[in-house]
Structure 1
């Protein structure tokens, strides 16, 4: 039952993050939908970790080159997702208020993704592979 509550809580926080993103795009004052391209970064964020988890042979090791490379690529994806709306606001494609809303949505979404992997990626008797 605790896994269900965690999954519902993570879903709720994901919806909050997507609401911030939609508000940054759809409010009448902003009205530009270019920030929706950060959805690509949301989809790409867990891919390096999942690939490294499949490829890594020694799961008992504290660190491996494959896992470290996955952390590096994931960090690059997350930094790019935070930098993209700032660049759009700097070249005046979107307003700075929209940039703030998108950055707030990014923070909530990436913390939700991190929470998902922390809660369901431990490898104990209950994990995310059941879903």
Structure 2
């Protein structure tokens, strides 16, 4: 989050448009969490696969948004490329953290007593 805020708040950038990736951060784990909650143990995993597809759509959109904001056909970009790079680096950190969370807590029969 620090990299995303730096991409918005540094004096040479001073543009808060990249902060819209927070919406993708909030929305991306929701389909997978819902599908894991209501997934049957049967062989039909279409619900889980659909949720992973929707989640990947949110992840790709989070990476595409700063690039689209930095590119402009008329030569006047909405954000500068330095802010774009900072937001992309922040995306990598946030999504690797989410992936680590899902990998760590994948086994549902474990209790919080392991802490």
TM-score w.r.t. length of structure 1: 0.78
Structure 2 residue runs of 5 or longer lacking an equivalent are: none
**Separation (CA, whole Å) in 1 of partners of 2:26 and 2:10:** 24
SS at match of 1:107: helix
RMSD: 1.3
Asked if 1:116 is matched to 2:101, the reply is: yes
Q: Match for residue 99 of structure 1?
A: 84
Q: Match for residue 111 of structure 2?
A: 126
Q: Match for residue 15 of structure 1?
A: none
Q: Match for residue 6 of structure 1?
A: none
Structure with higher helix content: 1
**Separation (CA, whole Å) in 1 of partners of 2:49 and 2:4:** 30
Say if 1:21 and 1:105, in contact at 8 Å, map to a contact too: yes
Cα displacement (A) at 1:44: 0.3
* Structure 1 residue corresponding to 2:17, chosen from 34, 37, 44: 34
Higher RCO (C-alpha 8 Å, min separation 6): 1
Q: Match for residue 20 of structure 1?
A: 3
TM-score w.r.t. length of structure 2: 0.88
Structure 1 residue runs of 5 or longer lacking an equivalent are: 1-17
Cα displacement (A) at 1:124: 3.3
**Separation (CA, whole Å) in 2 of partners of 1:29 and 1:74:** 33
Correspondence list, 1:49-68, <5 A: 49-58=32-41, 61=43, 64-68=45-49
Q: Number of paired residues?
A: 108
